[in-house]
Amino acid sequence: MKAQALHGHLDALLLAVLEQGALHGYAIIEALRARSDGTLDLPTGTIYPALRRLERAGHVASTWSTVNGRERRTYQLTDSGRGALAGERAGWRDFQLTVGRFLDPGSPPTTPA
């Protein structure tokens, strides 16, 4: 799946991955790949700018550490990020219901008010 197809949803996916605990950048990429059964194989050039954007918004905090002589940045969800994730989930449910009325033949039609 291309990063462009995720437009508008990448931040929510990153917040959801970090909900499980702090991870460094490559581990986040691996978690996206694993949870999507390989469908989401996004490049670092997509993930790291999104993480920086989330950090500037206060939804993610990062710390530097040295592991096996290599510097790496670890990201974790903040309280603000938890709130943002809850809002993203509610918005996703609304979006699914609305679009499902058109694209899911099994969805019951709604009547205008």
Q: What is the pLDDT of residue 14?
A: 97
- 17: how many CB neighbours lie within 10 A of its CB? 21
| Those residues with Cβ within 8 angstroms of residue 35's Cβ, 6 or more apart along the chain or in another chain | 17
The continuous run of DSSP H or E covering 66 comes out as: strand 60-67
106 bridge partner residues = none
Distance between CA atoms of 63 and 110, rounded to whole angstroms?
49
Q: What is the pLDDT of residue 106?
A: 77
Q: What mean pLDDT do residues 2-29 have?
A: 90
b/e per residue, 84-113, with b = 16+ CB within 10 A?
bbeebeeeeeeeeeeeeeeeeeeeeeeeee
Distance between CA atoms of 110 and 99, rounded to whole angstroms?
12
Write out pLDDT tens, residues 40-99: 999 999 999 999 999 999 999 999 988 889 999 999 999 999 999 999 999 999 999 999
